[in-house]
Chain A
Amino acid sequence: MQKLHFHLLMLALAILCFDPGVIAREKAQVFRGALIYTIAGEPLENGAMVVEDGKISAVGLSGQIKTPPEAEEHDLTGKVLMPGLVDTHSHIGGGDGGDNSATLHPEVRILDAIDVHNDTFKKARAGGITTVNVMPGSGYLMSGQTVYLKLREGRTIYDLLLCPDVERDVCGGLKMANGTNSIRKNPPFPGTRAKSAALVRQLYVKAQEYRKKIAEAKNDPEKMPARDLQMEALVEVLEGRRIVHYHTHRHDDILTVLRLAQEFGFRVVLHHVSEGWKVAEEIAAAKAPCSIIVIDSPGGKLEAVNLLGKTGGVLEKAGVDVAFHTDDGITDSRLFLRSAAFGVREGMSRAKALEALTLAGARMLDLQERIGSLEKGKDADFIILSGDPLSVYTQVEQTWVEGKLVFDRANPEHRKYAVGGYEVFRGQAHYHDHQGEIE
């Protein structure tokens, strides 16, 4: 015992004296002079932020923030600084989920199918997005497990993950869908809405049984049920560790989701929620957060024909937590900022619209302790804008992830992803079309 203490003491001394982290530590960086939207509080005119080791070590009014020794100063006079954008629903990365052999694929992980070199990641960085929930599609009742990614420069999926261990940790949510996208002519797909709900309920009932068997086994390997990837994912959902991201448009479909969430006690984020404005009170009562898409013009999909710009404002007034998403390629990651502008145009408050691009999204991914606002101790994920975030003329000038510059509009190699051009985007944007014309 004493020996162990001695070792620990030596180790602590070693860390204090020779911490390789201290030696390899990057220079602290100070971003000074910008209008800073911390999202955690009132905007700071002439603010400053200090970044050390990928984390925010200080943020406040410029006069109150000292520059650490040897720190690198960035003069951001006239610029706007805000947290990196959180896209709660995107299809970048070229991945996909379940296939047509079934409509319920809770065991399928999109992280097994993502190409981190796909240029859609560069496009998202150009749009100021630093964290993204990459989802499989909506043509299935459960198309698979989503994955939460940091848009760091990376060579492998592991460089982008927010969870340390893909086998042990919950690295994303579960994508579910109801309404017309997942309804098809022939089994195993449901032909109606009622059948859709029944299929989902049956599988959750099975998962409840599975969970009960695990509890009853009391860690006795003899009594444990055989491993089942589907059931394991759904147990995580039943235990509230994996959030369900539920694609839903029509008001009655939204209420169906709330009914299922209540029956099985799962945590849900409602996605798209096109007719959410019709059932805002019910959504608020269920405390279900909403991740909405902003489309600047209506039509094109029957069950979403009542998708109106006012949804965000109506939900905000009802007390619902609202975030935005791109659903890239439905809308373009490079244009994510304009979601907030349209939100305000149609009735959201400015503060909530900016929060809907950042902290609200972080909450919907259980990442609010790490990202979404500029606060001491949080990851240094932020963007530098040329002007007001709600102006059409504003450009994302730089995107930083964990203290590293991942997009710089001044760099022509980066800039091309912000504007497009000849063979800039080689990978086809993921494009849903459920009319069968375009896959």
Chain B
Amino acid sequence: MIRAIRLKTILFLILFTAVSLHAQLAVKGETVYTMSGAPIADGIVLISTGKITAVGKAGEVSIPADYRFLSAKVVTPGLIDAHSVVGLAGIYNQPHDQDQLDKSAPIQPELRALDAYNPREDLVEWLRNLGVTTLHTGHAPGALISGQSIIVKTGGATLEQVLIDSSAMLTVTLGASVGQNFDSPGTRSKGVAMLRSEFLKAQDYLKKKQAKDASKRPARDLKMEALGEALSGRLPVLITANRATEISSALRLAKEFNLNLIIDGAAEAYLLLEEIKKAGAPVIIHPTMARHWGDTQNASFETAAKLKDAGIRFAFQGGYESYVPKTRVVLYEAALAAANGLAFQDALAALTIDSARILGIDHRVGSLEAGKDADVVLFNGDPFEYLTRVCAVIINGEVVHDVCR
């Protein structure tokens, strides 16, 4: 009996602690873009213990009296930056905060972004305050294989608190930027040949690992293990490919090795819409405002709209900058695409639900639905307008920011 009471008390305390950490919230929006259906006028999102518990029209969803009430003109799901280097690359652009690329070898699939990610990086806070709640981040483009990326939430001080996916994608780069960082590959075709050789080695490694005689199995090799995951399809392969030549090579590689391909950058995607569509590969489009030099010289403000028209799933990214500004803000990048032919709701989808689908995390984030993580952004107007401010950001049910800025 005494024991039972004690247990109840402990349970109550645990529950109480959880509740106080993750407040119960009611968020009302003049327009709520749930991204799982039509926008709701005068919508309500109820949040409890870090999750969304109900979404609906005001009047249809009753708000419990003890819930904290927040309201805004526009409410959206937390925004997702589908490809970034923030947390590995820091704001100062000095050697101590630039961990985005190891240049000792062009192929290093064993490098884990999780071993370099700094959740307290200033740029993480900057993005969070502008509504970015989920970040797919890792090594910068520039090596044939730069490592394994991670997906994190932008709220939280330790890796354990923020990690959603510890090995999200294998990050690969094709194109001239690789040649600038390494003596070899010195050409595009050499780069592809090196990748193919490495994947063949990994195929062999996987085969030998199956040997019945344990003594004949090869020793563990981190490089081969990571490539093996990619070959099995469990680890998606993000290939940064901006020129049409590189996009074609990426499609060819994916076909040859049956890779789960995501095309990154894709500055000249407008030249290969049919091929990309046919391959079923989603695209994480370069920042709309990416500088048009080097591999992105032929970038267009209208590529996102063209991907949409072609029926290709795509998402926006903050990308990688070696100089001012150190990161881009997906909200602004999507806004410019919305000003250049992409419909408002399609731009918003590419920042939320479509991005979540591409990253394989749509069971948790990307839309406002009961059961999903309570990641919500409150705006005082059209999210894309320059004069609109982000007035509150909620991550896992916690208000991490509630001053309009």
Interface set of A (CB-CB < 8 Å, partner B): 295-302, 304-305, 307, 329-330, 332, 335, 338, 341-342, 344-345, 390-395, 418-425, 428-429, 431-433, 435, 437-438
Contact = CB atoms under 8 A, between A and B. Distances in A.
B324 A393 contact: no
Given A300-B324, A428-B297, A438-B322, A419 B93 contact: no
A418 B332 CA distance: 18
A391 B386 contact: yes
Contacts of B291: 329, 332, 429, 431
B386 A392 contact: yes
A324 to B, nearest CB: 14
B324 A422 contact: no
Contact of A299 (B92, B268, B386): B92
Q: Chain B contact residues: over half helix, strand or loop, or mixed? A: loop
A435 B322 CA distance: 9
Given A297-B126, A338-B386, A419-B301, A304 B323 contact: no
B122 interface: yes
Say what secondary structure dominates the interface of chain A.
loop
Contacts of A297: 126, 325-329, 332
B393 interface: no
B93 A392 contact: no
A295 B328 CA distance: 10
B270 A421 contact: yes
A435 B323 contact: yes
A432 B323 CA distance: 8
A437 B327 contact: no
B98 to A, nearest CB: 9
B387 A344 contact: yes
Given A329-B293, A438-B322, 8 more contacts: A302-B92, A332-B289, A341-B386, A345-B386, A420-B292, A420-B299, A420-B300, A421-B298
Contacts of B338: 392-393
Nearest to B388: A345
A425 B92 CA distance: 31
Contact of B91 (A305, A341, A429): A305
Given A420-B301, A422-B271, A390 B93 contact: no
Contacts of B385: 391-393
Interface in B77-106: 90-94
B302 interface: yes
A423 B267 CA distance: 12
Nearest to B86: A299
A303 B20 CA distance: 42
Given A345-B387, A391-B385, A431-B293, A296 B332 contact: yes
A342 B332 CA distance: 11
Contacts of B248: none
**Max chain A CB contacts within 10 Å: which of B289, B301, B325?**
B325
Most buried by B among A299, A391, A393: A299
Given A335-B289, A392-B386, A300 B302 contact: no
Contacts of B321: 300
A304 B324 contact: yes
B232 interface: no
Indicate the member of B271, B300, B325, B386 with the most A CB atoms within 10 Å.
B386
Contacts of B92: 299, 302, 305
B198 to A, nearest CB: 26
B340 interface: yes
Given A297-B328, A298-B325, A329-B293, A419 B270 contact: no
8 contacts: A299-B327, A335-B336, A341-B386, A393-B385, A419-B300, A419-B301, A425-B297, A428-B293
A261 B289 CA distance: 37
A401 B125 CA distance: 44
B335 interface: yes
A401 B173 CA distance: 44
Closest 6 CB pairs of A and B: A299-B326, A299-B91, A341-B386, A300-B326, A297-B325, A300-B324
Contact of B387 (A335, A390, A419): A390
Contacts of A393: 338-339, 384-385
B123 interface: yes
A301 B327 contact: no
Nearest to B385: A392
A286 B196 CA distance: 64
Contacts of B299: 420
A435 B268 CA distance: 28
A195 B338 CA distance: 49
Contact of B293 (A298, A301, A307, A429): A429
A296 B385 CA distance: 13
A187 B322 CA distance: 27
B387 A341 contact: yes
Contact of A419 (B268, B293, B340): B340
B278 to A, nearest CB: 21
B387 A299 contact: no
Interface string B323-362: 1111111001001101110000000000000000000000
Identify the interface centre among A298, A330, A390, A392: most chain B CB within 10 Å of its CB.
A392
Nearest to A328: B291
Nearest to B389: A345
A44 B384 CA distance: 27
B387 A298 contact: no
A422 B322 contact: no
A299 B93 CA distance: 7
A419 B289 CA distance: 10
Given A305-B91, A419-B302, A296 B325 contact: yes
A302 B322 contact: no
Nearest to A123: B292
B59 to A, nearest CB: 33
Contacts of B326: 297-300
A138 to B, nearest CB: 12
